[in-house]
Structure 1
Amino acid sequence: MNTQPRPIPSPPTAAQPAPGALSLQWKRQPLPPRQAVQVLDFRAGEIALLEVEDGRVWVTCDGLLEDYFLEAGQRLSFTGPARLRVSAEGPRTARLLWARHQAEAGATYPPAVTVPAPPLSAVPTAAAAPSQPLPRGAISAA
């Protein structure tokens, strides 16, 4: 039997944030399987930060063609305005952590997915212009 005194470990200390680091309030969103898609809205000037804590999550952003499937530990960010739709992918509950952050000049952010501006309506040329104006958002086939 060893009677040598063992050193007592020092208590943990709170890590000091690095200069310029973000202070975020993360929200935990459980996503049960086969439940309706959840919607997360972010305004212009906000950064949407997502991280999957557990399970697999499907994420899509209105206006983008891509869908994203994130596993536990994977992160994704979007620059607002953005409407995100999220749900569990697979037979078990997933947990999504997300945070909303107001963009600040000079701050460092994870790579963000840029949401393109809505498409512009095509304006017909004078020669092909119909007698009635086109409805908003319509594209002339001429």
Structure 2
Amino acid sequence: MLHMKIMQWMDSVLAKGEAMDFFHDEFRCPVYVKDLVTIVWTLTSRLISEESMQLLLNVGGPDRVSRVQMAEVVAHIRGYNLSLIKSVSSSTVNRGVKSPADISMDITRLIQTLNMSPTSFRDGVKLTLEAEFASAS
């Protein structure tokens, strides 16, 4: 639910006990999908009830995390060996396209405008992995 594909991938790699390189110098603010649904629902409801509305809001999660930090959270939640996570610079890998190093964002206005408390990255990963496990059972 929270960047499900990347969480599934990290989980599957670490579950195999394989060491893997993760970037320490690319930062993101992953948003939990249920928070995104709440945001869209709230804004849609306001748009329907108001004559006009113009807002510019950053939508992301409350935590700025690197790929290494993402993998560490998955490892902590699942009980995997942290030594499998190898911290590398994104410049060591040619992905064919240049990816921005930092696309984190300030979501203060979003939180204030919608009076919401977004789900932390750690809690979002835990809920996502639990949901995946429950649907696989």
Give the TM-score normalised by structure 1.
0.25
Q: Name the one with the larger helix percent.
A: 2
Give the TM-score normalised by structure 2.
0.25
Q: Name the one with the larger strand percent.
A: 1
Larger Rg: 1
Task: Answer 1 or 2: higher relative contact order, Cα 8 Å, separation at least 6.
Answer: 2
